Amino acid sequence: MVSSNTAPMSETRDHDELFPGSPKGRDDVILEVRNLRKYFPIKSRSILFSKVIGHIKAVDGIDLQIFRGEILGLVGESGCGKSTLSKTIVGLEEPTTGQVLLNGADIHHPESREQFMQMRRSIQMVFQDPYNSLNPRRLVKDTLREPLLIHNIEPKRQEEIVLEMLKKVGLEEYHALRYPHEFSGGQRQRIGLARALIMQPDLIIADEPVSALDVSVQASILNLMQELQEEFNVSMIFIAHDLSVVKHVSNRVAVMYLGRIVEIGPTDEVFDTPAHPYTVSLLSAIPFPDQDIKKKKIILEGDVPSPVNLPTGCRFAPRCYKAQERCHQEEPVLEEIRNNVWAACFYPESEKVIFLEMEDEQ
Ligand SMILES: Nc1ncnc2c1ncn2[C@@H]1O[C@H](COP(=O)(O)OP(=O)(O)O)[C@@H](O)[C@H]1O
Ligand code: SF4
Ligand SMILES: [Mg+2]
């Protein structure tokens, strides 16, 4: 299924230049995100006239491919544009520029109702707060049946599928006749997963699916997600602000800062030898399980700057421990640093950063 909306630029530009960080030689692409931007207009507060006085550049030029059966971890501090990117990918937000192609078809410009329905079925979201994403007045069985109804699945099969899915996510048949408030947070996220998987999608975008849960239940939900991902061979974009979560579930990781991907590569490589100072800073904030590795705390000063007035040059420069003159004048683009690890930085780390304990410095 190839959409006529597909831009011909892939023929004219080099693959690496077009999709930095994509594994080389794979052709089982599920999702292609091309030069995606999402700007929210800021309007003046006049009673008579409403004028656009600026833009919130939440997503500012993302190129990305997702392959069949892979989990891409997407990380970055709050406000970096992760949720806006995922909403724009699934079609909940219209892009300002760019395209999202799911199995070659343009998500935002379906060619027919059939194609629209097919795409709705093929891409699903799991949200951070399972309670808010479930209808409180609906029995679980009705929530789970809804997509089956929309897609005209035979009524007799609907009930069977609902009960099968409940079992797959570790719930019991009797749970079908309960309301969301009767479940714990972890159980609700199991229902969210069942709802996302019930139509056997090609891609799930999970936006911080465990960050609202107690630490004690996070691991069981993460394990379940991995099991289900393997069983269904579904691709996944797994969003988290906690890097340790992403490390355990994803094959590749993309680090986002102020609307852009600043580092992308195989998870092991990025965690072992991060190239971008922002990734190094994020990693320095998580505990190392390996006692032999000592740790240097690189304190990330301040919050993510406003995506309205972006810093000139490198967006990370005002907070970067390596910033130099050039960083405040030019904006770096993603370049391959090593082994398919790409980073947008003029002075990337090329060797393993040896972290030292804070106490050692004092
Ligand atoms: N609907 C919206 N209208 C205006 N600004 C928005 C909207 N949604 C998100 N933003 C802004 O876009 C930026 C990115 O937000 P978001 O995508 O939620 O980041 P993240 O998920 O990484 O925390 C933030 O500055 C946020 O305030
Ligand atoms: S380009 Fe400069 S400011 Fe930006 S991350 Fe690299 S070293 Fe830091
Ligand atoms: Mg978010």
346 Cβ below 6 A of ligand 2? yes
**Atom of ligand 1 minimally distant from the CA of 307:** 25
Give the pLDDT score at 1: 36
298 Cβ below 6 A of ligand 2? no
In what order do the strands lie in the sheet containing 71-75? 123-126, 203-207, 235-240, 71-75, 252-257, 260-266, 341-343, 335-338
Token pair in block for residue 159: 């009930």
pLDDT tens across 181-208, in order? Answer: 999 999 999 999 999 999 999 999 999 9
Token pair in block for residue 269: 């490589």
Give the pLDDT score at 43: 87
Q: How far apart are CA 252 and CA 286, in angstroms?
A: 19
pLDDT tens across 133-175, in order? Answer: 889 999 999 999 999 998 888 999 999 999 999 999 999 999 9
First CA to last CA distance, the chain: 61
CA atoms within 13 A on the CB side of 130: 27
Give the pLDDT score at 294: 45
- Where are the chain's structural domains? 9-137+179-361
**Atom of ligand 2 minimally distant from the CA of 323:** 3
Give the pLDDT score at 343: 98
Q: Cα angle at 226 between 267 and 59, to 5 degrees?
A: 55
Give the pLDDT score at 14: 62
For the chain, the residue count is 362
Give the dihedral sign, CA 335/337/343/344: negative
Question: Ligand 2: which residue has its CA nearest to atom 1?
Answer: 345
Compute the distance from residue 326 Cα to the ligand 2 centre, in Å: 9
Of the residues 346, 349, 350, 353, which should be mutated to test ligand 2's pocket, given the most ligand atoms within 8 Å of the CB?
346
Token pair in block for residue 82: 């992760």
Q: How far apart are CA 88 and CA 342, in angstroms?
A: 24
Q: Cα angle at 225 between 273 and 136, to 5 degrees?
A: 130
Give the pLDDT score at 52: 87
Compute the distance from residue 59 Cα to the ligand 3 centre, in Å: 12
Give the pLDDT score at 3: 38
- CATH match of 9-137+179-361 with 3.40.50.300: yes
Residue ranges in the chain whose pLDDT is less than 70:
1-17, 47, 287-297, 353-362
Give the pLDDT score at 360: 42
Q: How far apart are CA 270 and CA 23, in angstroms?
A: 14
Check: CB of residue 359 under 8 Å from CB of residue 295: no
* Ligand lying nearest the CA atom of residue 277: 2
Residues lining ligand 1, Cβ inside 6 A = 40, 56, 58, 76, 78-84, 307
Give the pLDDT score at 10: 43
Q: How far apart are CA 317 and CA 323, in angstroms?
A: 6
Compute the distance from residue 356 Cα to the ligand 3 centre, in Å: 31
